[in-house]
Amino acid sequence: MARIVSLSVLSTLIVVLGLTFFRVLAPFVMPLFLAGVTAILIQPLFQKLVRRCHGRVSLAAGIMTSGLMGAILVPATIAILLASLELYTLSHTVGNEDFLRKAGDSVRVKSDDLIIRSVTFANGFLPEHRRTDPAKAIELVRDRLRDSINGLGDRSLGMLTSSDSLGVLGTTVGTTVDIIGKLLSTTVSVMLGLTIFMVALYYFLAEGPELIVATEALIPVHLEYQRTLLDAFSKSVRSVVLATFAAAIAQGVATTLALQLCGFGNLFALLLLSTIFSLIPLAGAWIVWGPFAIGLFASGHWVQGTILTLYGVVIIGMLDNVVRAYVLNSDTKLHPLLAFVSVLGGIQALGLWGVFIGPIVASCLYALVTIFNTELFALSREKFSLEASPPTASEVAVVPPPAPLKESSQEPASAHMTQEPS
């Protein structure tokens, strides 16, 4: 009884302290998670670097972390930040009459005419008190478009800084002072997140085996099962995430390069949007370059429009399979529906960061569910095989034989009658 009480008290303390510790780590969950996934992805390259450093793991971990931060993560973070700010600037210009006039009166007239026709058609089925003015509908569409783009930037920068500062700065969005203010307000948060990521990645690389052994000792699961789960998890993350992102980044770079050569601006926004749509199998990078090609045809630039269309269909369209086969020599990838939901859901929940985090979470969850299903099937098979197996020879030997019938029970009834006293 005393042991049960002790375990109950310890369990309560563990839950309370665990929740408190999670609240302490909550601001840094995303950098820690990304550091763990990155350590898994670069593990083969890290092992080669360890051999080059003659077994000095700490030195190899420092070189790998510094090189990764300098060559990949810092430019990627700056690109995402600048793309978010470009989205804010775009949200300020959407709905502005000067912007619409520069973009082309024909486009504005056609879009307004489509809205007017749609509203007029819908008003024909509604009572008079519920009908909408077409002019108000046009303003509402512009406001909703501006709010959607503005909200995407809010969620993207919200991963790096507080929402209060964004709310104050959002009142003057699109101006030079606003952009400088946003950069200053997010610098500290960005540097803190990158520092957490860098330190965590270093320790995951330098002391990864020790951390795994310490974790295995705390988890009440058989050691062989834990290592099987970890191995399957690593393979799944590496095969799915690396192939998916490599193909998407290649398509994004190719699309942005083509659009820049055609004279279109907004480099970072185009790069990020083309990469996002390349991650969605049911969409693709054509959603980005397609409208630009149509615009070139509409403005009379037939040669540029034809070249951009052929480049998009042939080169950009083939990059997915080529890069995937070159990077991993494998066809492993997320199901199109799962990738579609994870990318769009990640963008909705986390902003522009969700395009990277969504597929990673989906692939990790898929790996864990697959492993759990395998273990559950093995457990069920063992249980049913034991219940259905016949008794062994040793089990039969220990079963006592049936007792022989008593002789008295075999005597005829007449004998009993003769023994009765007269």
pLDDT tens per residue, range 42-79 = 888 999 999 999 889 999 999 999 888 887 766 766 76
Give the integer Cα–Cα distance in Å for 166 and 189. 13
CA atoms within 13 A on the CB side of 398: 4
Residue 217 has pLDDT above 90, yes or no: no
Select from 22, 105, 37 the least CA-distant residue to 299.
Answer: 105
Q: Is 369 within 8 Å of 338 (Cβ atoms)? A: no
- pLDDT (0 to 100) of residue 163: 40
Query: pLDDT: is 179 or 301 the higher one?
Result: 301
Instruction: For residue range 86-139, list pLDDT tens digits in order.
Output: 666 655 554 555 544 554 455 555 566 777 777 787 777 777 777 777 778 777
The tokens for 395 are: 């089990």
pLDDT for residue 87: 61
pLDDT computed for residue 83 by the predictor: 66
Q: Report, as an integer, the average pLDDT of 196-218.
A: 87
43-52 and 29-41 helices, crossing angle to 10°: 70
State yes or no: pLDDT of 418 exceeds 90. Answer: no
Q: Tell me the pLDDT of the chain averaged across its residues.
A: 72
Question: Binning pLDDT at 50, 70 and 90, where does residue 333 land?
Answer: low
Q: How confident is the model at residue 408 (pLDDT cuts 50, 70, 90)?
A: very low
Q: Could you tell me the pLDDT band of residue 178, with boundaries at 50, 70 and 90?
A: low
Residue ranges of the domains in the chain? 29-214, 219-385
Q: How far, in Å, CA of 328 to CA of 240, rounded?
A: 9
Q: Write phi, then psi, for 401 (nearest 5 degrees).
A: -70, 160
pLDDT(326) > 90? no
Query: HSE of 375 in the Cβ direction (CA atoms, 13 Å)?
Result: 15
CB 58 within 8 A of CB 206: yes
Take residue 410 and report the two structure tokens written for it. Answer: 């075999």
Task: Summarize pLDDT for 298-309 with one digit per residue, the tens.
Answer: 777 888 888 888
Given a cut of 60, is residue 401 above it in pLDDT? Answer: no
- The whole-number average pLDDT for the span 147-158 is 57
Residue 172 has pLDDT above 50, yes or no: no
The lowest-confidence range among 117-121, 153-157, 341-345, 371-375 is 153-157
Question: In terms of DSSP H, where are the helices of 94-221?
Answer: 97-103, 105-123, 134-158, 163-169, 176-206, 208-218
334 or 224: which carries more pLDDT confidence?
A: 224
| Mean pLDDT computed over 181-210 | 81
Instruction: Compute the average pLDDT of residues 385-399.
Output: 56
Highest averaged pLDDT of the listed ranges 10-24, 118-132, 282-296: 10-24
More confident residue, 77 or 251: 251
What confidence score (pLDDT) does residue 388 get?
60
